[in-house]
Amino acid sequence: MDGEELTEQETALYDRQIRVWGAGAQRRLSKSHVLVSGIKGTVAEFCKNIVLAGVGSVTLLDNRLVTTEALNANFLIRPNGNAHIGKTVAEICCDSLKEFNPMVHVSVAKGDLSTLDIDFFNKFDVVVVGYSSRATKKAVNEKCRKLTKRVAFYTVDCRSSCGEIFVDLQDYKYAKKKLDETVECELTYTSFEEAVSVPWKLIPRRTAKLYFAMRVIELFEETEGRKPGDCSLSDLPGVLKLKKQLCEGNSVNENHIPDSLLERLVSDNTEFPPACAIIGGILGQEVIKAISGKGEPLKNFFYFDAEDGKGVIEDISKP
């Protein structure tokens, strides 16, 4: 499959990273197409990373108009006074990203992520859904799974100084270096819907608390009819009540999810820029791994909390 050679220009530009992942991986990257939706701080970091890495194309989906809130943690939007009036976040970010690497085709797609039809997703090798509702994540994931070709699916969220990444690579084969020989490995992933439906009793106690906390808030926003991330401190009593119900329903102790963690997540819905850089960096690395087929991809959740500084992988799959 790696017929074509890299051009002299590509070799010069990508010199340092080719030394990390090789020319074959670089060629595969340059032929890949990535869809990204929800361009807030963490996703902006992610976009920068894959544009620099030299993917073939990046398609941006974010119909929000540019507001002061959109500027937070997003270095792709310059505070340009009136210049942004009437422009969407995707359009502004598209212009900035193009500058980072002229060899990558960056464009904007219109439409609502949750209602785009299945053919739309067929154009991509990777789909990244940022800051979406539980229903949207499920719907897009299902569409990707119905396609005959494998589309790598990711979700990413960042609240306060905490973040979550979900990965679904379906059936995935990759090369792993073991001493001097390369072995072929295979992983089987579960869908987002299956992963979040695993009964809590079956999940090991040592699992990151953030996994459970994110499920509580996700469900709270869904039942209250909120937009993703639309919570404040005044919602804490409602969130705690829901937590209690969920813990009882799952027959696990309420202490399983610390109230202080939920409080942090609902009271501060702005992203902490260092956390964006870290989570966007990990997500970038994972997408590069999945496209290039080099290295072991994470399965299937990743958590970062700046409070303890740990970046943890959790495997929560259907039993």
Partner 1 sequence: MDTQQQQSAIKGAKVLMVGAGGIGCELLKTLALSGFEDIHIIDMDTIEVSNLNRQFLFRRSHVGQSKAKVARDAVLRFRPHINIRSYHANVKNPEFDVDFFKQFDVVLNGLDNLDARRHVNRLCLAADVPLVESGTTGFLGQVTVHVKGKTECYECQTKPAPKTYPVCTITSTPTKFVHCIVWAKDLLFAKLFGDKNQENDLNVRSHNAASSSKEKEDVFERAEDEDIEQYGRKIYDHVFGSNIENALANEETWKNRRRPRPIYSKEVLPESLTQQNGSAQNCSVTGGDSVISAMPSLGLKNPQELWGLTQNSLVFIEALKLFFAKRKKEIGHLTFDKDDQLAVEFVTAAANIRAESFGIPLHSLFEAKGIAGNIVHAVATTNAIIAGLIVIEAIKVLKKDANKYRMTYCLEHPSRKMLLMPVEPFEPNPSCYVCSKTPLVLEINTQKSKLRDLVDRIVTAKLGMNLPLIMHGASLLYEVGDDLDDIMVANYNANLEKYLAELPSPIVNGSSLTVEDLQQELSCKINVKHREEFDEEKEPEGMVLSGWTQPPATNGESASTSNNENAVDVTESSSGSEIATKKRRLSETQPENHKKETQNVESDDDDFMEIENPMLVSKKKKRVE
C-alpha to C-alpha distance for 300 and 213, rounded to whole angstroms: 17
Q: Binder to partner 1 among 3, 19, 186, 251 (CB under 8 A)? A: 19
- Residue with smaller CB distance to partner 1, 77 or 144: 77
Among 32, 49, 292, 300, contact with partner 1 (rule: CB under 8 A): 49
The nearest distance, CB 147 to partner 1, in angstroms, is: 27
CB nearer to partner 1: pick between 235 and 271? 271
Q: By CB under 8 A, what part of segment 246-285 binds partner 1?
A: 264, 268, 270, 272-278, 280-282, 284-285
Site string for partner 1, 122-161 (x = CB under 8 A): --------------------------------------xx
Question: How many whole angstroms separate alpha carbon 119 and alpha carbon 32?
Answer: 17
| DSSP three-state, residue 131 | coil
Q: How far is the CB of 17 from partner 1 (least distance, A)?
A: 5
Nearest 10 degrees: Cα torsion 231, 236, 239, 244: 170
For residue 310, the cross-strand partners are: 305
Q: Site map for partner 1, 201-220, x if CB under 8 A? A: -----x--------------
Structure tokens at 176: 């792993």
Given 52, 108, 109, 252, the residue binding partner 1 (CB under 8 A): 52
Q: Decide: is 295 part of the binding site for partner 1 (CB under 8 A).
A: yes
The size of the interface with partner 1 (CB under 8 A), counted in residues, is 68
| DSSP code per residue over 189-251 | PPPHHHHHTS-GGGS-TTS-HHHHHHHHHHHHHHHHTPPTT---GGGHHHHHHHHHHHHHHTT
Least distance CB 175 / partner 1 (angstroms): 14
CA 52 to chain centroid, in Å, comes to 17
Minimum distance, C-beta of residue 120 to partner 1, in the bound complex (Å): 28
Q: Is 4 in the site for partner 1 (CB under 8 A)?
A: no
Tokens of 39: 């361009």
- Contact criterion met (CB below 8 Å) for 49 and 284: yes
Q: Which of 244, 299, 308, 287 minimizes the C-alpha distance to 33?
A: 287
- How far apart CA 58 and CA 107 sit, in angstroms, is 6
Q: Are 224 and 238 within 8 A, CB to CB? A: yes
CA distance 10 to 17: 11
- Work out which of 29, 39, 61, 73 binds partner 1, going by CB under 8 A: 73
* Centroid of chain to Cα 241: 28
Contact between 171 and partner 1 by CB under 8 A: the answer reads no
Examine residue 95 and tell whether it contacts partner 1 (CB under 8 A): no
Q: Assess 40 for contact with partner 1 (CB under 8 A).
A: no
Q: Does 314 bind partner 1 (CB under 8 A)?
A: yes
List contacts with partner 1 (CB under 8 A). 5, 8-9, 11-21, 23, 41, 45, 48-49, 52-54, 73, 75-79, 99-102, 160-161, 177, 179-180, 206, 264, 268, 270, 272-278, 280-282, 284-285, 288, 295-296, 298, 302, 304, 306-314
